[in-house]
Amino acid sequence: MKGFTLLSVVLCLSTCHLVFAFRDGLLDNGNFEQAPNASDLNGTIVLKPNAIPKWRVSGFVEYIKAGQKQGDMLLVVPEGYAAVRLGNEASIKQSLNVSKGMYYSLTFSAARTCAQEERLNVSVAPDFGVLPVQTLYSSNGWDSYAWAFQADYSVAEILIHNPGVEEDPACGPLIDSIAIRALYPPKATRDNLLKNGDFEEGPYVFPNTRWGVLIPPNIEDDHSPLPAWIVESLKAVKYIDAAHFSVPHGQRAIELVGGKESAIAQVARTIIGKTYALTFAVGDASNSCEGSMIVEAFAGRDTVKVPYESKGKGGYKRAVLRFTATAARTRIMFLSTYYHMRSDDFASLCGPVVDDVKLLSVRKPRRMA
């Protein structure tokens, strides 16, 4: 039965891809470089629902060009020269053919403007997530965010909505570069009881942004943009890539940017009484995040604190937590003891990097009678 299901999934994956020719990357006009006709704009205000090619907008939406000013603030745009701003109750949407049942992750860049508590409701019905954009993680105001969904239908209507109600309707977040990536849920292997322990499977990372991707907390692990992992507690973790950061192993890793308020966790199957070794790398992302760092690793009730002296220039060390399982399921978790700020930019949160996490059972030397 299991073999049969697996086979049909494999068949579907290949055929569905042939049918839909699904491609990871920017949505159609996902960076808003195709501009509306001048007659469909009043200043920056978009006048018609279909004025921006490939998108449908509703409410107070502005089409913003790089270099435009708002008060004293110069608006910068991460990709190309245009972005949109979602005012009160404004939204943008686009439909996309997807494979029913598959998991997808959306990545988009957003910047807070003047409102204190900006949030965005990202949805593909019936799933939605309300992502806070008020906390600044990077100095130019832009951050990239990931959000994942499972396709319930073969057409996904991607909707980004600003639920805010500000006095000034022009005080809404800027949005740019909306991309999608199909996620392939990884499996545990003989070499690792944890899935996706190297964090290689995860959200789309823009090749031209240098601030990583924030993965917001999510209580449902099967909808995580970081397959198999749960981002626990209040704050996001950052997904970083080897092209822009120092990464201990492979192409991707996790930077714990929220102190004790952000943690990643995964539940592993264990056998009561067996001894296990949890091995992992702790380092820094080479992003001027300096100082004495501590990563706390947990395996059920066992824990280890791993100190790491960061010069902010990259590097890592390996650590191990040995424990004897006391349950059939053991929660593995990592967090950073402290908050850190970049030494070159005191507005940006940063932290230690965790990578290459492996869980293996170790044989205790048996005593001969």
Between 26 and 306, whose beta carbon lies closer to ligand NAG?
Answer: 26
Work out whether 343 is an interface residue with ligand NAG (CB under 6 A): no
Query: What is the token pair recorded at 37?
Result: 């006709």
Cβ at position 312, least distance to ligand NAG in Å:
38
Work out whether 140 is an interface residue with ligand NAG (CB under 6 A): no
Position among 68, 88, 113, 123 found at the interface with ligand NAG (CB under 6 A): 123
Give me the 178-197 binding string for ligand NAG, x by CB under 6 A, dash otherwise: --------------------
Position among 49, 59, 132, 163 found at the interface with ligand NAG (CB under 6 A): 163
Between 126 and 365, whose beta carbon lies closer to ligand NAG?
Answer: 126
Strands of the sheet with 290-299, listed across from one edge? 230-233, 262-269, 329-336, 290-299, 302-311
Check: CB of residue 60 under 8 Å from CB of residue 88.
Answer: yes
* Strand extents, DSSP E, 102-222: 103-111, 119-124, 127-132, 142-150, 155-161, 174-183, 213-215
- The DSSP symbol for 188 reads -
Cβ at position 53, least distance to ligand NAG in Å:
5
Separation of alpha carbons 187 and 17, rounded Å: 21
Instruction: Round the CA-based radius of gyration of the chain to a whole number and report it.
Output: 22
Between 28 and 345, whose beta carbon lies closer to ligand NAG?
Answer: 28
Cβ at position 336, least distance to ligand NAG in Å:
29
CA dist 180 → 145, 183, 272, 320 (Å): 12, 10, 41, 35
Between 55 and 308, whose beta carbon lies closer to ligand NAG?
Answer: 55
Separation of alpha carbons 33 and 98, rounded Å: 24
Stretch that binds ligand NAG, among 121-129, 144-152, 235-243, 295-303 (CB under 6 A): 121-129
Stretch that binds ligand NAG, among 68-76, 125-133, 247-255, 349-357 (CB under 6 A): 125-133
Cβ at position 74, least distance to ligand NAG in Å:
22
Work out whether 128 is an interface residue with ligand NAG (CB under 6 A): yes
Work out whether 130 is an interface residue with ligand NAG (CB under 6 A): yes
Start-to-end Cα distance in the chain: 45
Number of residues that bind ligand NAG (CB under 6 A): 15
Work out whether 132 is an interface residue with ligand NAG (CB under 6 A): no
What SS3 state is found at 10?
helix
Separation of alpha carbons 332 and 230, rounded Å: 10
Within 8 A by CB and 6+ apart from 330, the residues are 267, 268, 270, 276, 299, 300, 323
Cβ at position 83, least distance to ligand NAG in Å:
17
Separation of alpha carbons 86 and 161, rounded Å: 7
Site for ligand NAG in 31-70 (CB under 6 A): 36-37, 40, 42, 51, 53
Query: What is the token pair recorded at 130?
Result: 């309300």
Q: Return the residue matching tokens 């965010």.
A: 145
Give me the 231-260 binding string for ligand NAG, x by CB under 6 A, dash otherwise: ------------------------------
Work out whether 97 is an interface residue with ligand NAG (CB under 6 A): yes
Separation of alpha carbons 263 and 230, rounded Å: 8
Stretch that binds ligand NAG, among 145-153, 158-166, 289-297, 360-368 (CB under 6 A): 158-166
Site residues (vs ligand NAG, CB under 6 A): 36-37, 40, 42, 51, 53, 97, 121, 123, 125, 128, 130, 159, 161, 163
